[in-house]
């Protein structure tokens, strides 16, 4: 990809703009007004960050509410129910927010898109900040929706916080979180980003110039495998809930850990979830990028 095309690619990714078909004859199209274009990009970014906050809030609240509800009904199958709730929630929210923010709702996912240059550092930091705010709001709302006397600590957020098992050591927890996050991010990168030949399918126009071929875009079109990305990612989150929960608590999402930890004041091994999840996400992003690059050469 040339320097011109590469900058075009990052501009598209940073604003979160989907690529749409353009007319074949683009030579007579007037250049975009710089001020109007800058305002449009700013609004798209604000909309994306707010969308990420809302998406994370809804996801974390659903996960926490499910956990709190099963704590109130101890005879139910909390493991299966929690996995199904997480999977269904993820599918619904990704379909709802994919075209607004990309529906990361996970700092580890955002980190992986930053290190693989699919998202700028600035936008990535704004996303992570929005995700943490959304997770904290979800934990606060949890306190308002569940009676406190139903929990031993009198705090629903503390009761649903992610903590390692008592018999797990740091190595067990670290490796479990790293592997689970690796699986999640690899699936996301493998199914959510499609490489297309824009000489045949899409054309990006900026000031009357067309970008080159092989742009990586996020799409929910059923014509590509990315059209099924929300289902694949949701199912992945679901089956990951069956893995490692008895060791690390099964977080694979630092925002999920941060919200209840802050509101419930339960910080045991908190740093570990950030380090292990970010490392696993970064490894997955580069691994999928390697396989995608070698595939295009075959």
Q: Where are the domains of the chain?
A: 3-16+32-297
- Tell me the per-residue pLDDT of 252-271, one tens digit each, with 9 for 90 and over: 999 999 999 999 888 888 99
Span 222-236, average pLDDT: 79
Q: How far is CA 245 from the centre of its chain?
A: 20
Q: What is the DSSP letter of 101?
A: T
- Tell me the per-residue pLDDT of 90-113, one tens digit each, with 9 for 90 and over: 999 999 998 888 899 999 999 999
Nearest residue to 44 via CA among 20, 22, 11, 92: 11
φ/ψ (deg, to 5) at 215: -85, 140
Q: Percentage of residues in the chain with pLDDT exceeding 70? A: 74
| Helix, strand, or coil (residue 274) | helix
Question: Picking from 18-27, 79-88, 159-168, 259-268, which range would have the lowest pLDDT averaged per residue?
Answer: 18-27
CATH topology of domain 3-16+32-297: Glycerol uptake facilitator protein (1.20.1080)
- Tell me the per-residue pLDDT of 160-194, one tens digit each, with 9 for 90 and over: 888 888 888 999 999 999 999 999 999 999 988 75
The better pLDDT of the pair 274, 40 is held by 274
pLDDT of residue 199 exceeding 80? no
Question: Picking from 28-42, 180-194, 215-229, 258-272, which range would have the lowest pLDDT averaged per residue?
Answer: 215-229
Q: Cα–Cα distance between 192 and 219 in angstroms, integer? A: 7
Q: What pLDDT is stored for residue 14 in this prediction?
A: 45
pTM of the model: 0.77
Strand partners, 196: 215
- Tell me the per-residue pLDDT of 48-67, one tens digit each, with 9 for 90 and over: 999 999 999 999 999 999 98
Q: Cα–Cα distance between 298 and 197 in angstroms, integer? A: 16
């Amino acid at each position: 990809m040339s320097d011109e095309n590469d900058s075009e690619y990052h501009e598209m990714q940073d604003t979160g703009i989907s690529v749409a078909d353009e007319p074949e004859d683009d030579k007579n199209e007037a250049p975009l007004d710089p001020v109007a274009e800058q305002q449009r990009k700013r609004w798209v970014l604000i909309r994306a960050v707010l969308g990420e906050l809302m998406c994370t809030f809804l996801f974390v609240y659903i996960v926490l509410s499910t956990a709190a509800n099963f704590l109130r009904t101890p005879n139910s199958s909390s493991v299966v129910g929690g996995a199904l709730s997480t999977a269904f929630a993820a599918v619904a929210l990704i379909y709802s927010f994919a075209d607004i923010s990309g529906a990361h709702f996970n700092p580890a996912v955002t980190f992986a898109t930053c290190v693989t240059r699919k998202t700028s550092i600035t936008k990535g930091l704004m996303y992570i900040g929005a995700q943490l705010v959304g997770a904290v709001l979800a934990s606060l709302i949890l306190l308002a929706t569940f009676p406190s006397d139903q929990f031993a600590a009198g705090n629903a957020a503390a009761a649903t916080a992610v903590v390692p098992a008592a018999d797990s050591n740091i190595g067990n927890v670290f490796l479990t979180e790293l592997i689970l996050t690796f699986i999640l991010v690899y699936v996301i990168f493998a199914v959510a980003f499609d490489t297309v030949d824009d000489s045949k399918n899409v054309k990006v126009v900026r000031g009357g110039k067309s970008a080159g071929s092989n742009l990586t875009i996020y799409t929910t079109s059923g014509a590509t495998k990315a059209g099924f990305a929300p289902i694949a990612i949701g199912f992945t989150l679901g089956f990951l809930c069956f893995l490692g929960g008895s060791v690390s608590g099964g977080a694979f999402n630092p925002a999920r850990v941060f919200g209840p930890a802050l509101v419930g004041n339960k910080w045991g091994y908190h740093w570990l979830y950030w380090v292990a999840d970010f490392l696993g996400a970064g490894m997955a992003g580069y691994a999928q990028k390697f396989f995608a690059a070698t595939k295009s050469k075959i």
